Amino acid sequence: MESGSETPAAGGGGGGDRVLGGAPARLPGLDFYEWSRGLHPARLAALYELVVVAGDDFWVPSLVAELQALGVEAVHYPLRADDAPTVYSALGVAGLLAGARRAAVVDAGPGALLAALHALVNLGYSLSDVAGVGLVERLTSPLHYRLLVLLDSLRGAGVDLSAEAERCRTAALTGGDAAASDRILIAFDLERGIPRLAGCAARLYLGDGCPELEEVLDALDPHGEGGVAVAALERLHGRLVLHVGCRFMPRGDPCLRERAALAEAARLLSSRGPPVEPGEILYPEEAACIAYGDGYPCT
């Protein structure tokens, strides 16, 4: 969108097709704006009953405050473009968007994820539908794509995403249980590479547990610090190799505990099936690209 324009990049709240990432997109109930200096708060307040501003730029809180002063429900979703919300926060923000007759997302970085969540959770789009309207290519992190793949899988396992979105609305901004979210996501990483673990993530989400994986998940977070963000399985010359994405690595942490956890998790997985070799400690996005690069355009 060119600076000064107020045309939504995608939407359906205004009753027509918009263009998103070069592909026609129709998202009923939601308009999607890329931030520009020509985006006037008064105009947004006149059009929408809910505006969610996604991003962590310094100016976002002042925009939200101005919208609130104009009488519109405005929410700051403070997500960095290279980070990902918890499963519960993602469902919760979809629930917020579903609860408004006319809603808009103002994108200050990761806003395409919110539009994709609306399409997947509220509109019932399949993952391929979400990709087809150009939303996957606009995601700013493979961690966002991983979250969409998980939610699509949960729906395939019989989870009612719309009902869960309503239930999780209070977690939209608080995040909910971050440790439980990590366990679900890591279980999903592992089940994608080890067929005997299929369904573990859904069972964990539903609170039923997954005994065959619990010890491995405990091994990956022995101190409750949440250092392991991603567990990526890779086939290399016939060998199955486990890498982990360390949440502390971008801070310069050597992730020594996570290295030990990786070795123990690989040992436990090997004791219950085909050999799994410990691989590398990576940035979370690097690990997510290994695990989900078949559907996300990692560069």
Tens-binned pLDDT, residue by residue, of the chain (299 aa): 223 334 344 443 333 333 333 332 448 889 988 887 778 899 999 999 999 999 988 889 999 999 999 999 999 999 998 899 999 999 999 999 999 999 999 998 899 999 999 999 999 999 999 999 999 999 999 999 999 999 999 999 999 999 999 999 999 999 999 999 999 999 999 999 999 999 999 999 999 999 999 999 999 999 899 999 999 999 999 899 999 999 999 888 899 999 999 999 999 999 999 999 999 999 999 999 999 999 999 97
- Boundaries of every domain in the chain: 10-174, 178-292
CB 219 within 8 A of CB 252: no
**3-class DSSP state of 207:** coil
For the four alpha carbons of 284, 290, 294 and 298, in that order, the dihedral sign comes to positive
Quote the pLDDT of residue 299.
73
Walk across the sheet containing 73-77 and list its strands: 10-11, 30-34, 103-107, 50-54, 73-77
Quote the pLDDT of residue 109.
87
**3-class DSSP state of 288:** helix
CB 24 within 8 A of CB 133: yes
Name the CATH topology of 10-174.
Answer: Protein-Tyrosine Phosphatase; Chain A (3.90.190)
Quote the pLDDT of residue 35.
82
H helices, E strands: number in the chain: 13, 10
Bridge pairing between strands 50-54 and 73-77: parallel
pTM for the predicted model, two decimal places: 0.90
**3-class DSSP state of 228:** strand
223 Cβ neighbours under 8 A, 6+ residues apart: 257
Sole residue written with tokens 């997500």: 79
Quote the pLDDT of residue 13.
39
Q: SS3 string of 10-64?
A: EECCCCCCEEECCEEECCCCEEEEECCCCCCHHHHHHHCCEEEEECCCCCHHHHH
Sole residue written with tokens 């995403």: 161
DSSP letter at 226? -
